[in-house]
């Protein structure tokens, strides 16, 4: 599950103590700030859930060139909370209930699992401090109690082993079965790590990606908030219930509202005590856990992941100076970088959203085209004029944009092929799927995903093929964030070299377009900095206004109910 799940590392808390980052707590220690931030993230997550349950979450829209807006299907938001992957044979299952009825979460610390209630018995919200009290109780108990086996580690290994262990655990004891029900019904998982990694962003994201060794995680839960003992935090997610844009909006909300405020209707009631999940195991289960441990470590040791924060320019430059659609621009940069390192083209996967349709998910944008490869091959050719290179660039972008529109409008081909393949019985085969042309053009050595704008986080995922890369990117106004993953065993993939090549390519592309001063004028840097500051102030004012209106409405409701009683 480690390479299947996506991960996101959050920006630091606005009140992050710099000393905690400069001199992290030693391994084996939890910090008060870690508990404080975790409690705030939990509270904000519950508020976001309530907007989904009440139907008050504003609808997502696609903005068209003519100014019109197309609403998008919101169904996937119903799959965020409480969703769990269940090991199965021959295939896994996924459980989702909307609205998720659970009143508890699972908190993991030192591989121990605890049921932690976050709503009162009556279903009321509580203060952030009350959630902190629960988390402190988890930390205290996890250090002083006899350790239970690391059952969560089973979800880090291969699925067949996970299924066998899951089935046997249920057969061993009814308490084990009840534990799995408790996990399944939990709204989400919170992992309190008693360590932190190297604080450079290039290293610290590995803690969110896989926990360094697969421990203290339950990778089968749709949402898993991870908090290091420095207060650094992130999210690890199971991909089946929802596509990346959905948890992206969830993350935007919980981070934009830090530091968390108590919900207006917070109850003063004390929550029920935490409950540790205790497991009954035998030698067979211990062997399964040991095997999963080795499998996870082998995969982690073979996976390289690096980040690139390109800050020479961002989406504003691409739109206003280059006058290119930002996503197409970045896709061309990735393909040019690939060509600079490899002599032959490769199939390029990019996900397109089909949420303009009811229950739409994704379709494949086949980003590689005759035009894009022609651009990549000629970009470094000194015999080709810059004006002609710009024409090649425009042609490649036009082809990409056309395929992107077709994919989003239900005219793609890959989900159709997927449906045909799914219809085959186990004894059946089709020459189509073994045809060399089909297999070659479906081997995504470049698997890419746009997670824009990504202002609040870095995100990524593992490579699809052993000799390929997994590339996530987020295009902000003034910069572009990338995560690049690959396999260390492969002689073909070199993630650090690809990162430096991509960075150089993004800078080299500027030669095809006007200078920024020609479009924005002299002093554009100061003007843009001022614009950004004004945007920050406007956002702060809007948040304060929204909070004021929300509190006014609650006071009005309370007053109205009192009048009715009189």
What values do phi and psi take at 396, rounded to 5? -65, -40
* 301/316 Cα distance (integer angstroms): 38
What is the β-pairing status of strands 189-192 and 223-227? parallel
- Up-side HSE of residue 289: CA atoms within 13 Å toward CB? 18
What does the block give as tokens for 511?
């030669």
Please state, as a whole number, how many other Cβ atoms lie within 10 Å of the Cβ of residue 447.
21
What is each CA distance from 449 to 328, 352, 545, in whole angstroms? 12, 9, 35
What is each CA distance from 141 to 51, 144, 365, in whole angstroms? 33, 5, 49
Q: Where would I find the beta strands (DSSP E) of 193-335? A: 223-227, 233-237, 275-276, 303-310
Catalytic residues: 239
* 446/316 Cα distance (integer angstroms): 26
Burial 37-54 (b: 16+ CB within 10 A, else e): bbbbbbbbbbbbbeebee
Helix/strand/coil for 565: helix
Contact 157, 296 (CB under 8 A): yes
* 275/178 Cα distance (integer angstroms): 13
Contact 82, 94 (CB under 8 A): no
Contact 511, 317 (CB under 8 A): no
Is the peptide bond between 434 and the residue preceding it cis, with omega within 30 degrees of 0? no
* DSSP per residue, 351-379: EEE-TTSTT--EEEEE---HHHHHHHHHT
What values do phi and psi take at 302, rounded to 5? -95, 0
Matching residue, tokens 């997994």 = 470
**Total count of residues recorded for the chain:** 566
Helices 386-408 + 326-341 axis angle, to 10: 120
Contact 347, 368 (CB under 8 A): yes
Burial 182-194 (b: 16+ CB within 10 A, else e): bbbbbbbbbbbbb
Contact 505, 337 (CB under 8 A): yes
What is each CA distance from 418 to 363, 364, 415, in whole angstroms? 10, 11, 5
């Amino acid at each position: 599950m480690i390479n299947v799940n996506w991960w996101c590392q959050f920006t630091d808390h606005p009140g992050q103590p710099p000393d905690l980052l400069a001199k992290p707590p030693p391994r084996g220690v939890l910090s008060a700030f870690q508990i404080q931030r975790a409690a705030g993230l939990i509270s904000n997550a519950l508020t976001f859930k309530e907007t989904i349950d009440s139907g008050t979450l504003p609808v997502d829209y696609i903005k068209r060139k003519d100014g019109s807006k197309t609403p998008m299907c919101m169904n996937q938001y119903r799959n965020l909370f409480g969703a769990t992957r269940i090991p199965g044979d021959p295939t896994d299952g996924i459980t989702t209930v909307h609205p998720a009825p659970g009143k508890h979460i699972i908190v993991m610390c030192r591989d121990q699992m605890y049921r932690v209630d976050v709503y009162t018995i009556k279903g009321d919200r509580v203060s952030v401090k009350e959630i902190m009290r629960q988390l402190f109780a988890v930390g205290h108990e996890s250090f002083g109690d006899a350790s239970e086996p690391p059952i969560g580690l089973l979800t880090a290994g291969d699925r067949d082993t996970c299924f066998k262990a899951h089935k046997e655990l249920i057969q061993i004891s009814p308490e084990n079965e009840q534990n799995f029900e408790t996990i399944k019904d939990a709204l989400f998982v919170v992992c309190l790590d008693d360590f932190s990694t190297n604080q450079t962003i290039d290293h610290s994201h590995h803690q969110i990606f896989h926990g360094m060794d697969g421990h203290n995680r339950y990778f089968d839960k749709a949402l898993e908030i991870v908090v290091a003992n420095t207060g650094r935090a992130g999210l690890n997610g199971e991909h089946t219930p929802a596509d990346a844009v959905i948890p992206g909006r969830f993350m935007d909300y919980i981070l934009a509202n830090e530091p968390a405020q108590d919900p207006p209707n917070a109850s003063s009631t004390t929550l029920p005590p935490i409950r540790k999940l205790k497991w009954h195991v035998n030698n067979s289960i211990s062997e399964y856990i040991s095997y999963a441990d080795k499998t996870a470590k082998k995969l982690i040791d073979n996976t390289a992941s690096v980040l690139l924060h390109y800050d020479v320019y961002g989406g504003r430059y691409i739109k206003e100076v280059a006058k290119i659609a930002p996503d197409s621009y970045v896709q061309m940069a990735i393909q040019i970088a690939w060509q600079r390192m490899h002599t032959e083209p490769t199939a390029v996967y990019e996900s397109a959203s089909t949420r303009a349709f009811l229950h739409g998910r994704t379709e494949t944008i086949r980003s590689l085209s005759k035009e894009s490869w022609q651009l990549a091959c000629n970009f470094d050719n000194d015999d080709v004029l810059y004006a002609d290179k710009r024409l090649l660039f425009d042609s490649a972008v036009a082809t990409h944009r056309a395929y992107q529109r077709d994919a989003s409008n239900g005219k793609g081909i890959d989900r159709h092929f997927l449906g045909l393949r799914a219809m085959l019985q186990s004894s059946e085969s089709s020459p189509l799927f073994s045809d060399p042309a089909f297999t070659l053009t479906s081997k995504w050595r470049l698997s890419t995903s746009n997670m824009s704008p990504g202002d609040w986080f870095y995100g990524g995922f593992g490579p699809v093929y052993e000799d390929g890369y997994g590339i996530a990117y987020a295009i902000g106004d003034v910069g572009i964030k990338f995560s690049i993953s690959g396999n260390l065993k492969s002689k073909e993939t070199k993630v650090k070299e690809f990162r430096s090549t991509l960075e150089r390519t993004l800078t080299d592309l500027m030669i095809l377009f006007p200078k920024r001063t020609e479009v924005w004028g002299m002093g554009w840097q100061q003007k843009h900095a001022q614009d950004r500051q004004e945007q920050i102030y406007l956002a702060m004012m809007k948040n304060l206004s929204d909070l004021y209106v929300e509190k006014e409405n609650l006071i009005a409701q309370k007053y109205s109910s009192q009048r009715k009683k009189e």
